[in-house]
């Protein structure tokens, strides 16, 4: 072994011998310290010694980062370890393991402190908005604009001014729980809340309970909040009993009410709302999927309407003659068919008020917007419309093996019956249909 006293110049000049893959140069000042150079010119300080009769070799480092004095000091340290019967490799591994254990312990302590602070501070109201944003970001099926608005309204503070009423907004059913910490939302607390809310507004309380139940399930699977929600406190028989079952609504337009309803609705001062309500009845659509209708979803040439759907991504329904006439008369202010110059969204937001006033003026029983959807299903039976066809037009999930797996109705088949339904309803309402300037493509039935 070639031994010399290491100097900066000698270390710099040392090169690999020709024909070899690596060459070594050993220091006379520090036993075991060597300089290794490979055929491609890579250099490193090494240490070599004997432990229990076996030669061991360890890399110290690159001469560009280790000066000679530091390399010699490291070699002496390794020599002491070997002389004491210790394997430097094991000593290094133990030291690294100890450092890792110390880091892990520190991180665990930080996590425990964070968890403690989280448990002591995070409230239902804090996490609710995060929950909504997460569901919007993941585009979860079923989260329409109306559903998002319901989540925000159910926990609102109240006392805010309204646009169309001098009365301020009311606090949502979940507002009384919004300041509670998640860890304080126990089964007993939810049961007490349900008992009180059921006395004031049972329908809203039932909706709030369902939304809260889904929220708690989300928390239980969340990486941050799962430690705060061991079980879902909303799943209680007493809570369910307190809130009771939702009563089925029976509001519907019967045949003899059609003329009064159409007369009153067509007198509404806002032509967009008047058209929207008539189309809502004549298509049997859900209120929000029709309110969100865009001009690009209406095909006047082929007589079709594309509606966002609760069951599927979308569904195609016929554009019937009278509905087509209603739509052609609407102003094209923006992308939405039923537009509104005052609404933030650009489309009608609350046609219910005008509808309630029209129903009252006509002397008809209370009728909700969903009641118009119910009315379409009921009135379609007067002309013996096949149930599957009416259901498909309305966007109901197929029922039964035949509907689910075998029947695939084209749009023109739906049109045959939809045109008949519209014509019969308008006939009962004594509404005259002026001829179309450019007739739609309609299949005769």
Does pTM top 0.85 for this prediction? no
Q: How many Cα neighbours within 13 Å face the side chain of 191?
A: 9
Instruction: Dump pLDDT digits (tens) for 286-342.
Output: 998 999 999 999 999 999 999 987 666 789 999 999 999 999 999 999 999 999 998
pLDDT value, residue 120 = 73
Residue 121 banded pLDDT, cuts 50, 70, 90: confident
**Nearest CA-CA partner of 34 in 13, 63, 54:** 63
Mean pLDDT, residues 107-118 taken together: 78
CA angle 158, 161, 167 (to 5 degrees): 85
Cβ neighbour number for residue 11 with a 10 Å cutoff: 19
Count of other CB atoms within 10 angstroms of residue 428 = 18
> How many Å apart are CA 105 and CA 88, to the nearest integer?
25
Q: Which residues contact 148 (CB under 8 A, 6 or more apart)?
A: 132, 135, 136
Do 41 and 47 meet the contact criterion of CB atoms below 8 Å apart? no
The C-alpha atoms of residue 294 and residue 297 are separated, in whole angstroms, by 5
Tell which residue, 370, 385, 207, 203, has the closest CA to residue 289.
370
Query: Contacts by 300-309 with C-beta closer than 8 Å and gap 24+?
Result: 300/324, 300/327, 300/328, 300/438, 300/440, 301/441, 302/441, 303/415, 303/440, 303/441, 303/442, 304/411, 307/395, 308/144, 309/395
Q: What are phi and psi of 308, to 5 degrees?
A: -65, 140
- For the chain, give the number of residues: 445
């Amino acid at each position: 072994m070639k031994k010399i006293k290491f100097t900066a110049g000698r270390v710099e000049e040392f090169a690999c011998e020709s024909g070899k893959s690596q060459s070594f140069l050993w220091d006379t000042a520090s036993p075991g310290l060597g300089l290794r150079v490979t055929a491609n010119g890579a250099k490193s300080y090494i240490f070599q010694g004997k432990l229990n009769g076996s030669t061991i070799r360890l890399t110290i480092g690159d001469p560009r980062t280790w000066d000679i004095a530091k390399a010699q000091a490291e070699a002496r340290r390794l020599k002491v370890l070997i002389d004491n019967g210790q394997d430097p490799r094991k000593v290094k591994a133990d030291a690294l393991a100890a450092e890792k254990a110390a880091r892990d312990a520190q991180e665990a302590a930080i996590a425990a402190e964070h968890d403690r602070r989280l448990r002591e501070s995070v409230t239902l109201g804090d996490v609710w908005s995060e929950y909504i944003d997460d569901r919007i970001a993941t585009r979860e099926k079923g989260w329409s604009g109306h559903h998002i608005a319901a989540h925000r309204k159910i926990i609102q503070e109240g006392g805010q001014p309204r646009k169309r009423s001098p009365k301020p907004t009311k606090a949502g059913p979940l507002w009384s729980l919004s300041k509670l910490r998640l860890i304080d939302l126990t089964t007993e607390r939810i049961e007490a809340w349900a008992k009180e809310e059921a006395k004031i507004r049972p329908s809203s309380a039932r909706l709030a309970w369902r939304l809260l139940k889904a929220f708690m399930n989300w928390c239980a699977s969340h990486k941050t909040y799962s430690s705060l929600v061991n079980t879902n406190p909303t799943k209680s028989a007493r809570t369910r009993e307190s809130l009771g079952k939702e009563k089925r609504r029976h509001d519907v337009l019967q045949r003899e009410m059609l003329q009064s309803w159409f007369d009153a609705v067509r007198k509404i001062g806002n032509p967009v709302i008047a058209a929207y309500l008539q189309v809502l009845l004549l298509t049997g659509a859900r209120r929000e999927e029709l309110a969100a209708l865009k001009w690009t979803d209406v095909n006047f040439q082929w007589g079709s309407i594309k509606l966002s759907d609760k069951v599927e991504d979308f569904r195609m329904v016929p554009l019937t003659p009278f509905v087509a006439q209603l739509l052609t008369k609407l102003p094209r202010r923006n992308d939405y068919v039923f537009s509104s110059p005052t609404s933030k969204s650009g489309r009608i937001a609350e046609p219910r008020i005008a509808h309630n006033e029209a129903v009252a003026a006509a002397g008809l029983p209370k009728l909700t917007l969903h009641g118009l959807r119910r009315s379409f299903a009921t009135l379609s039976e007067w002309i013996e419309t096949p149930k599957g066809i009416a259901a498909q037009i309305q966007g109901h999930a197929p029922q039964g093996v035949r509907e689910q797996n075998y029947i695939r109705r084209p749009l023109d088949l739906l049109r045959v019956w939809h045109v008949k339904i519209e014509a019969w309803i308008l006939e009962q309402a004594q509404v005259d249909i002026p001829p179309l300037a450019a007739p739609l493509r309609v299949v005769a039935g």
